[in-house]
Structures are given as C-alpha cells and as structure tokens.
C-alpha cells in the first residue's frame, strides 16, 4: 500500500518562534510582529519563489538582527522534535513492506538537513517537497505532481496530514485521508488498522 506522510506536526513537531526570537536585537519592542512577518512569507519561500540566500537576507533585515546567515540557518533549523508514536508506526509500516512517501511543504534550509539530522527518514522511499515542485499544499498542483511522479492511484493511497485544508484537497482528488492530531495518536492507529484490514 502507498502512504503519503506530511512532515510537520505528523512526523516532527516544530516551534519557530523561540528559536528565531534569539536573533532579535536586545530591547526590541515589536519582536512578535517581526517574527510574524517572517513566518507570513514562509509560504513563498516554501513554494520555491525565493532562494534561501534571498530569504535569509530579507529576514535578517526585517529582524534588524546582527546575526550572520549561518546563525539564521541554525535558528531556522533547530525547531524540530520527533513525534515518537508516529515514528513507531512508520517503522512498522516500513518493515511490513509498504511504500512510504514524504509529502511536505518545506524549504531548502530544512532539506536535506532534516534528513541528515533524523536518519530514520531513510525509511521513506521518496519525497515530494514543495520548494522542489514549485507549489505548496493545499494547491492541487503538488498533489498532481505526486500522482504523476510516483504513479499513484489516489483511491488506493493513504494520505496523512495535520491541516484541514490540505486534507480537503486530498479528498477532492480522491485520496483516502486522515487528519492527524498528535494529542490523539490512538485515533490514527485505529484508522490505520481499519485501512490495513481492507487489503
């Protein structure tokens, strides 16, 4: 069986603000506003519309930060925590011979760094990444890329994501979907067993 897995808040939890806040100059009064501007423009970066160096230069300017580009990369990357219950299920699915494909909005600062930092990503057979495709979820183009590139039949492909708009597009295109909530992992396990019992 084919499985599409989102990364953020499915395989890895993340929190940008505490890490990026360390880049703010001392005494700044509108730090939250500046951080929000960075994250508001993240979609363009993750859609491949901005190169990493351009995004970093713009971000440091917005923050009025004295940090170097390498310090920004460090802060941008060190935001992840593995969601261990999901990884247990990924290991089990991989051992059982299922085809696992990453399907994520992400960017060229996080990738391939995240795959090198968390080597269990090697359990996945392939990846469809927004910045490489030039489109982000929930836009249909990235789903269509996944279907064409990996010869997927949506009706027999299981797709796991945490965001309702992404799931809605998946369902509209015929995927069998599950909206994941890491606070209720047993609900995912029950759904997974139901899917596997239908094989």
Q: Are 57 and 152 contained in the same domain? A: no
56, 130: one domain? no
Q: Where are the beta strands (DSSP E) in 113-152?
A: 126-129
Instruction: Kindly state whether residues 171 and 87 are assigned to the same domain.
Output: yes
Total domains in the chain come to 2
Contacts of 108 (CB under 8 A, 6+ apart): 51, 52, 131
Looking at the chain, the whole-number percentage of residues with pLDDT higher than 70 is 100
Distance CA 10, CA 186 (A): 13
pLDDT tens readout for residues 107-123? 999 999 999 999 999 99
**How far is the C-alpha of 68 from the C-alpha of 61, rounded, in Å?**
11
Sorting pLDDT into bands at 50, 70 and 90, what band is 27? Answer: confident
Tell me the whole-structure pTM to 2 decimals. 0.96
| pLDDT tens string 123-151 | 999 999 999 999 999 999 999 999 999 99
Burial string for 178-192 (b: 16+ CB within 10 Å, else e) reads bbbeeeebeebeebb
Say whether both 94 and 177 belong to one domain. Answer: yes
Which residue, 56, 77, 98, sits at the end of a domain? 77
Peptide bond into 38 cis (omega under 30): no
Domain of residue 141, residue span: 2-13+81-197
Classified as helix, coil or strand, 67 is coil
Question: Could you report the per-residue pLDDT of 31-71, keeping only the tens digit for each?
Answer: 999 999 999 999 999 999 999 999 999 999 999 999 999 99
CB 63 within 8 A of CB 34: yes
Q: Residue 188 is part of a domain; what is its CATH number?
A: 3.40.50.1000
């Amino acid at each position: 069986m084919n499985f599409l897995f989102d990364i953020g808040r499915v395989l890895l939890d993340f929190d940008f603000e505490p890490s990026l806040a360390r880049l703010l100059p001392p005494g700044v009064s509108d730090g939250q506003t500046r951080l929000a501007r960075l994250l508001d423009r993240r979609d363009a970066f993750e859609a491949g519309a901005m190169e990493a160096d351009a995004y970093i230069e713009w971000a440091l300017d917005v923050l009025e930060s004295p940090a170097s580009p390498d310090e920004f990369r460090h802060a941008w990357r060190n935001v992840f925590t593995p969601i261990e219950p999901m990884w247990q299920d990924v290991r089990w699915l991989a051992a059982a011979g299922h085809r696992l494909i990453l399907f994520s909005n992400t960017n060229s600062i996080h990738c391939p760094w995240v795959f090198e930092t968390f080597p269990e990503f090697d359990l996945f057979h392939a990846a469809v990444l927004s910045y490489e495709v030039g489109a982000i979820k929930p836009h249909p183009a990235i789903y269509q890329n996944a279907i064409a590139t990996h010869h997927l039949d949506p009706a027999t492909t299981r797709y796991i994501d945490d965001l309702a708009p992404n799931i809605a597009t998946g369902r509209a295109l015929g995927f069998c979907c599950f909206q994941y909530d890491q606070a209720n992992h047993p609900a995912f396990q029950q759904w997974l067993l139901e899917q596997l019992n239908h094989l």
